[in-house]
Structures are given as structure tokens and as C-alpha cells.
Amino acid sequence: MASPFYKVRCKDCGNQQIIFSKASTKVLCHICGSVLAEPTGGKAKIKGEILEEYRHA
């Protein structure tokens, strides 16, 4: 089963960014540097607002 990607919106600046659901490193907003996702050892903890989910067919 493929892990999805998320389109996440930064709560601080509104920037939208694509994030892997199992990101193994902290993901920062490209614009303001706010943390959008934190690794937990499995599925990343998403800090922003998830707008869409992309799965491979």
C-alpha cells in the first residue's frame, strides 16, 4: 500500500506545500519557516491544515 502525499496549508502564512505522509525529517514551510510536519518514526505528524491527499493508483 502506497503512502499518500498531503497538500498542507501553513497556518501562519497560508503557503501551500506538498508533504510526504511519512516524512522522516522535519518539514518546514518554504516561506516562513514554520514547522509543517514532524517525524514520529512512522507517519509524520502534520501541523498544518490538510487540504488534499494524493495517492498513487
Q: Is 36 in the site for Zn ion (CB under 5 A)?
A: no
- Torsion-angle region of residue 32: left (phi > 0), alpha (psi -120 to 50) or beta? alpha
| The only residue of 8, 10, 27, 44 in contact with Zn ion, by rule CB under 5 A | 10
Q: Which one, 31 or 51, has the nearer CB to Zn ion?
A: 31
Q: Is 29 in the site for Zn ion (CB under 5 A)?
A: yes
Of 1-9, 12-20, 40-48, 49-57, which part binds Zn ion (CB under 5 A)?
12-20
CA distance 24 to 6: 14
Q: Is 17 in the site for Zn ion (CB under 5 A)?
A: no
For 49, what's the count of Cα atoms within 13 Å in the CB-facing half-sphere? 9
